[in-house]
């Protein structure tokens, strides 16, 4: 039986940076107010001529620097994004053409902040069933495009970026298990309630913005993140102290801290990048992973628990050996 294993990581952040002090000049807020409630100090914002595919492409090139794969070796591309370049074709297909890859499956996955976990699950199953040998799994967002920059409850939270992992077939498990959930009953608590077939006039006039009931989202997110993490541990008969690193979706430091506390995982074992990146939705987990790989914290053989929670509601976890 084939398993999938991560052989390379990469990430990219736009050069544009908006600090909390910058936001304080735009809306009624302050650095201290934002940082105390979210843990965010700054976020990267794509330039007006940068697309989600542009960010994804640069993240792939960063991963290719490892020298462990070439674009022509890729036989599956899965892009997790809420902010696709266009209605169609998919961002994955646009990226495929740029990389010079031909004929492999390429498609987008939309599960908002849990999108990367959904994409990992899909790619892992492709490899386990011998339908792919080497896959690009990407989380990429230009989330700033769906933010109302006059709404201080949302504009302080989000940023843009992309992260990628390369999965390869292996005789030994890298990804041991994945666990996905969704509950559409909570759809109105976190959403952009417009689209092609609903309220399209708001798309045309440029008011397709994220809406969030933060307090309710917080309570449900902490509970769901704890439960899905426990599910991953139980599925692998693993104790908490066997986890070398937990990489949560970078939504809010209070959610991250509360989840870690409930699980009994010390914060020294939790990868936190939200202070520099903000919430980059589907990109946040692979961005955090790549950051920790490049700074030497995560090493080959480490046991990692990843988890994410997003609009839908969607949530998930994965248990893996790096």
d(Cα 293, Cα 90) in Å, to the nearest integer? Answer: 29
Domains and CATH numbers, the chain: 3-172 (3.40.47.10), 177-321 (3.40.47.10)
Chain center to CA of 219 = 20
CB 162 within 8 A of CB 61: no
Q: Which residue has the tokens 């890298």?
A: 174
Cα–Cα dist 55/14, whole Å: 7
The pLDDT assigned to 140 comes to 99
> Is residue 58 helix, strand or coil?
helix
CA-closest candidate to residue 158, choices 247, 38, 51, 69: 38
Q: Give the model's pLDDT for residue 220.
A: 97
Instruction: Please state, in angstroms and as integers, the Cα–Cα distance from residue 87 to each residue in 52, 75, 92, 93, following that order.
Output: 13, 24, 12, 12
**For residue range 227-254, what is the model confidence (pLDDT) as tens digits?**
999 999 999 999 999 999 999 999 999 9
Residues recognised as catalytic = 113, 249, 279
Q: Which of 12, 14, 248 is nearest to 116 (CA)?
A: 248
Do residues 118 and 307 make contact, with C-beta atoms less than 8 angstroms apart?
A: no
Determine the average pLDDT of the residues in 9-35.
98
Q: What is the pLDDT of residue 67?
A: 87
Predicted confidence at residue 203, as pLDDT, reads 85
Residues 77-114 pLDDT 10s: 999 999 999 999 999 999 999 999 999 999 999 999 99
Beta-sheet pairing, 245-248 with 303-310: parallel
Average pLDDT over residues 148-159: 96
Give the per-residue pLDDT at 58: 98
| Strand order through the sheet with 314-321 | 175-182, 314-321, 303-310, 245-248
pTM over 0.95: yes
Among residues 72, 168, 89, 161, the alpha carbon closest in space to that of 123 is found at 168
Residue 206 has pLDDT above 90, yes or no: no
Q: Is the pLDDT of residue 33 over 90?
A: yes
Quote the radius of gyration of the chain (alpha carbons, Å): 18
Sheet strands (E) in 142-205:
161-170, 175-182, 190-191
Please count the CA atoms within 13 angstroms of the CA of 229 that sit on its side-chain side. Answer: 29
């Amino acid at each position: 039986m084939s398993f999938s294993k991560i052989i390379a990581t990469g990430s990219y952040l736009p050069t544009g940076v908006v600090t909390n002090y910058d936001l304080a000049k735009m809306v009624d807020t302050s650095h201290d107010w934002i940082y105390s409630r979210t843990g965010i100090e700054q976020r990267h914002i794509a330039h007006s001529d940068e697309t989600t595919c542009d960010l994804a492409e640069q993240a792939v090139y960063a991963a290719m620097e490892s020298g462990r794969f070439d674009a022509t070796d890729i036989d599956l591309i899965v892009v997790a994004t809420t902010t696709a370049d266009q209605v169609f074709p998919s961002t994955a297909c646009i990226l495929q053409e740029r990389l010079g890859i031909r004929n492999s499956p390429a498609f987008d996955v939309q599960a908002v902040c849990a999108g990367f976990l959904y994409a990992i699950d899909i790619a892992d199953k492709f490899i386990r069933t011998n339908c792919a040998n080497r896959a690009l799994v990407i989380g990429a967002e230009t989330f700033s495009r769906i933010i109302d920059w006059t709404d201080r409850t949302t504009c302080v939270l989000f940023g843009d970026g992309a992260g990628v992992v390369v999965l390869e077939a292996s005789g030994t498990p890298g990804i041991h298990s994945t666990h996905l959930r969704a509950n559409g009953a909570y759809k109105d608590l976190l959403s952009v309630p417009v689209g092609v077939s609903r309220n399209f006039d708001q798309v045309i006039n440029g008011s397709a913005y994220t809406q969030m009931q933060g307090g309710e989202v917080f309570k449900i997110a902490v509970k769901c993140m704890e439960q899905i993490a426990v599910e991953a541990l139980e599925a692998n008969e693993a104790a908490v102290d066997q986890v070398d690193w937990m990489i949560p979706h970078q939504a809010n430091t209070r959610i991250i801290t509360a989840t870690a506390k409930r699980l009994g995982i010390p914060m020294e074992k939790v990868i936190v990048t939200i202070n520099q990146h903000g919430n980059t939705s589907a990109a946040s987990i692979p961005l955090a992973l790549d950051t920790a790989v490049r700074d030497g914290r995560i090493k080959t053989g480490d046991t990692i628990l990843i988890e994410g929670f997003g609009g839908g509601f969607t949530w998930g976890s994965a248990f893996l050996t790096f």
